[in-house]
Chain A
């Protein structure tokens, strides 16, 4: 059995190709998660504004992203951008763009929820002890909003990482795409190839995502005390 496993991963450049695929997956994930968090905070704050135009704009953006399957967004941007506007983006850039658009919308909604769910009395109590508005935000509102945000943000992060394999369909050589190519080639002479390759991919996703949820549990415990 070990022989068959070795023949899959050690033949040719299979192992290093898988690692390159992993690097692609991580690159898309990290860049789009970080961009989504930063942009999402601003869009989320905008969603709490009283300006109707701003509200309508952010609302439309959020709803469009919500109802659109990620795959459709990927196809739309990958195949149509160049035809309509003559913009030529690499598949990788399209992947990061689409995932950031999606992540920003979800993050914005989380931020909006965290802020609007804050009891009105928290701000008033801050005022009543003579704090300025910026002190109230800094010491009372933001620390609590961050805590309320955390579970949703962790959930969003792992969901984004788990969804990156969709880039498969616009031919980005991510971990799953590379794995599938390896299975196609080695599968002809090794019936267990799909089990070992996808098993390894499963393990890699687990190793990436599990610590993230552990970290969230740790923080929640720490803040609860």
Chain B
């Protein structure tokens, strides 16, 4: 039985009067890649933000490596050093170059030695193909490059697990691939990850398990092959159908025959 990195029990989260997560349970094993999908507003991004303590929760418990991170006095800055998170918006610090962006956390939050971290950062940058941009400022990078730097910045903290919150949602289509390839590489190395995405082909490729959320609860949890081939619930089927399009043919006079019923 593999060890659970993350255990969520009966999680309730409200914004004011409105409850957006209603008693959610979830376990993530070490090395597992869990992809969370669902219609917008279903609480999937909020779920990730709760795990990283960016949103306070109202009820329930979250445990990281067996230790509760929701009860008692929590030093969130220490917890967050173990959970890497990458957001949808390119969130690099615009007044620092790529290297300074990456080093800030390890040097200031973890107090590690500059030489060690710098070597590590360079290796990671080389892996995502951006070593030659280490002196560039965020404004000089494309969206895809910024997101890859953001991933390296999170990885350089040596986190226990990574959270990806729709990291390709605001990228141009031709840049989505380069970012997803980096995440696929991480999956290959056995990084524990929770990924919120709308890229269904990517979800199918990277996931060990797909979680379908709707209305603040987990509606389905299954292996990707099973889930995409045969969703068990109507809600999941309906959601997956929104990614399908019916073909529309226009009839031109010269090939009239072809489009007659």
Contact = CB atoms under 8 A, between A and B. Distances in A.
A129 B89 contact: no
B161 interface: no
A177 B95 CA distance: 45
A125 B148 CA distance: 15
Interface string A123-139: 01111111110010001
Contacts of A129: 80-81, 104-105, 109, 153-154, 157
A122 B93 contact: yes
Contacts of A132: 77, 109
A128 B80 contact: yes
Given A121-B91, A223-B95, A128 B85 contact: yes
Contacts of B94: 144
Interface string B42-84: 0000000000111000000000000000000000111011001
A143 interface: yes
Given A119-B89, A125-B93, A144-B94, A130 B54 contact: no
Contact of B80 (A119, A127, A225): A127
A122 B91 contact: yes
A124 B91 contact: yes
B87 A135 contact: no
Given A124-B54, A135-B108, A225-B137, A130 B91 contact: no
A130 B93 contact: no
Contact of A130 (B87, B110, B137): B110
B33 to A, nearest CB: 19
Given A129-B154, A130-B157, A147 B95 contact: yes
A129 B78 CA distance: 9
A140 interface: yes
Contact of A125 (B77, B81, B87): B87
B77 to A, nearest CB: 5
Nearest to B88: A121
Nearest to A124: B54
Interface string B240-251: 000000000000
Interface of A: 119, 121-122, 124-132, 135, 139-140, 143-144, 147, 223, 225
Interface of B: 52-54, 76-78, 80-81, 84-85, 87, 89, 91-95, 104-105, 108-110, 137, 150, 153-154, 157
